Amino acid sequence: MKLVIAYFRPEQLNSVKQALYAQGIHGMSVTNIAGSGRQKGYTEQYRGVIVEVNLLKKVRLEVAVADEKVDLVMDAIADGAKTGKEGDGMMFVMDIANARRIRTGETGTDILR
């Protein structure tokens, strides 16, 4: 099993969800976060004072999938999140050593079905 973690623009969340749903992936966790990367932020003027905004709003999406579906999930996320501009986001894949469904006690990849 793998855990796909993606960071992308909040306005692209609906597109990403629809792309995952189209591939039959419905289980996901979504968190609103703030972070910085190559995009580096911007400056704006607020009540006459120049303010530097360097922590930008992003979404963190986590999807646990079977090994054979990793590329499918990454492609769906990339298709939904891509705007072609800097700051579109990143994805990471991590191994999951084990997992257990609390209600039934199922373990391993059985919990993903």
Which pLDDT tens digit goes with each residue over 8-39? 999 999 999 999 999 999 999 999 999 887 76
- With a cut of 80, say whether residue 112 has pLDDT above it: yes
Which pLDDT tens digit goes with each residue over 70-108? 999 999 999 999 999 988 999 999 999 999 999 999 999
Delimit the domains of the chain by residue range: 2-112
How high is the pLDDT of residue 43? 77
What dotted CATH number matches 2-112?
Answer: 3.30.70.120
Q: Enter the pTM of the model.
A: 0.87
Task: Provide the 3-class DSSP secondary structure of residue 42.
Answer: strand
Which pLDDT tens digit goes with each residue over 32-75? 999 887 767 677 787 888 877 778 899 999 999 999 999 999 99
Cα 24 to its chain centre, rounded Å, is 17
How high is the pLDDT of residue 57? 92
How high is the pLDDT of residue 66? 95
With beta carbons less than 8 A apart as the criterion, state whether 7 and 70 touch.
Answer: no
User: Residue 59: which H helix or E strand, with range?
Assistant: strand 56-65
The encoded tokens of residue 19 equal 């792309």
